[in-house]
Amino acid sequence: MTAWLTLVALGVLASLAGALWRVWRGPDPADRMMAAQLVGTGGVALLVLLAPPQDWAALDVALALALLAALAAVGFVKARSPDGAGDPEEAPPPADLARRGDDG
């Protein structure tokens, strides 16, 4: 079983190499961010694959890495949108309420 997990981990490492290439040479910042998300996901997969033969504490590290990857995506979207668009606290009122302004 350990040999099988090691073989799958090597496949994940190969995909991580491709993702790192895209992070380095990406034509667009969005492409680079998506590749960075793939690196985060691959890192989580690698830690989950290596947890049984090594130490189960690697699952805690994988969980923290997954959380950081999600927060990085949110931060990227907030930084790339004009004036932090996408913030639900700054959303305009729904169209039906705006139409009823004087009538209701």
> Is residue 43 in a domain?
yes
Question: Would the pTM count as exceeding 0.75?
Answer: no
Backbone angles phi, psi at 25, to 5 degrees: -110, 10
> Is residue 76 in a domain?
yes
Residue 98, pLDDT above cutoff 60: no
> Is residue 21 in a domain?
no
> Is residue 45 in a domain?
yes
> Is residue 42 in a domain?
yes
Model pLDDT for residues 26-82, shown as the tens digit of each residue: 788 888 888 888 888 898 998 888 887 777 888 888 889 888 888 888 888 888 777
